[in-house]
Amino acid sequence: MEYGLDIEYSFNELLKSLGFSSEIAHIIWLPLPMLLVLTSAVVGVLVTVWLERKISAAAQQRIGPEYAGALGVLQPIADGLKLLVKEDIIPAKADSILFTAGPILVLIPVILSWLVIPFGQNLLISNVGIGIFLWIALSSIQPIGLLMSGYASNNKYSLLGGLRAAAQSISYEIPLALSVLAIVLMTNSLSTIDIVNQQSSVGILSWNIWRQPVGFIIFWICALAECERLPFDLPEAEEELVAGYQTEYAGMKFALFYLGSYINLILSALLVSILYLGGWGFPIPVEVIAEFLNIPINAPIIQVFTATIGIVMTVLKAYLLVFIAILLRWTTPRVRIDQLLDLGWKFLLPISLANLLLTAGLKLALPQFFGG
């Protein structure tokens, strides 16, 4: 073990000293990081909902939630409790099995994708080798859930919304995957840990955003489109489709959609910060700070400092991006469906292909800057 503090090891040792076998200890350990990530995802949603309410209020010169807790911070919890106790309605002519399965299929892939989100060198659930590819594969399942709920609602607006959602996420997945591919080309690895480490050599200057500015913009646009955020929220365009595939949903099933879309937004922001903004890296590398303070890099104090700064930096970068997304939502007009598909297929796709080709060329020409 090259690192000083290892919570899993100490936890297992503690359980072993209580008389459990190492396998039992491992099984008891396994759900803990998952629960932690699930909790942080849900808390992240609550924070984002509050931010959305407050920022939209500021953009429209209102005050926003005010009475539930200080500055209305408890408003999202009140919203959640309200959805929890609402009546669960399944329309009489709807297909009840598909109607129930739809929201679940939308939420599960999003939560599963948190598997590969690192908050620090060893602070992730699983460092699977296929890393970022897992997220691309999982996010391609989502349209099935949307189509399912759109179809099962037995409502023309829902069906149209579901079809639009599927068309949108299929068209924007391709430029998204191509811009990720350019990063992978520079890293020589699919693992999210390797992608961040590759950007950590000289702090802020080595972040991928300087080497992949076009890829960054393409990825951000496509991520917003995949989350169905406002410039691209065609599937639930209120003026045309009532609420798209969510029209017939109420109570907890609606809450699942709501939760899914916000978890997806935070996930996309986290992925942008991992792929382009150096992940958990501080703008000045921690090694330099440790050397400046004359403390060995393996000292427990530096370990704790690195982990703390890692989590803080990841969350900070992600929430900066969430803030931009919310601001975009409340200040930009919506695109039309044909403009949306034109943008995806005729603009983003060729540009991301050219970006990939350019990255490959630069990798051959300047291997010291673009990962030999």
Partner 1 sequence: MSIAVTTQIICFSILSLVIIIGALGVVLLESIVYSAFLLGGVFMSIAGLYLLLNASFVAAAQVLVYVGAVNVLIIFAIMLVNKKEDLEPIQNINTRRISTITICLTLLSLLIRVDLSNVWKLASPNSSIGEESTTRIGEHLFSDYLLPFEVASVLLLMAMIGAIVLARRDVMNKDISTGLPVDQELIEKASEPLLMKKK
Contacts with partner 1, residue ranges (CB under 8 A): 23, 26-27, 98, 128-130, 133-134, 136-138, 140-141, 143-144, 147-148, 150-151, 159, 162-163, 166-167, 170, 173, 190, 338
Identify whether the C-beta of residue 161 lies closer than 8 Å to the C-beta of residue 241: yes
User: 60 or 126, CB closer to partner 1?
Assistant: 126
Tell me the closest approach of the beta carbon of residue 327 to partner 1, in angstroms: 27
User: 288 or 364, CB closer to partner 1?
Assistant: 364
Cβ neighbors of 39 (< 8 A, separation 6 or more) are none
User: 62 or 156, CB closer to partner 1?
Assistant: 156
User: 332 or 339, CB closer to partner 1?
Assistant: 339
**100 three-class SS:** helix
Tell me the closest approach of the beta carbon of residue 167 to partner 1, in angstroms: 8
Identify whether the C-beta of residue 256 lies closer than 8 Å to the C-beta of residue 107: yes
User: 245 or 257, CB closer to partner 1?
Assistant: 245
Tell me the closest approach of the beta carbon of residue 74 to partner 1, in angstroms: 39
Q: Is 303 left (phi over 0), alpha (psi -120 to 50) or beta?
A: alpha
Tell me the closest approach of the beta carbon of residue 180 to partner 1, in angstroms: 12
**186 three-class SS:** helix
Pairwise CA distance, residues 139 & 273, whole Å: 18
Q: Which of 42, 126, 117 is nearest to 76 (CA)?
A: 42
Q: Which of 221, 208, 190 is nearest to 281 (CA)?
A: 208
**63 three-class SS:** coil
Pairwise CA distance, residues 146 & 150, whole Å: 6
Tell me the closest approach of the beta carbon of residue 324 to partner 1, in angstroms: 28
Pairwise CA distance, residues 312 & 354, whole Å: 35
User: 324 or 335, CB closer to partner 1?
Assistant: 335
Tell me the closest approach of the beta carbon of residue 309 to partner 1, in angstroms: 29
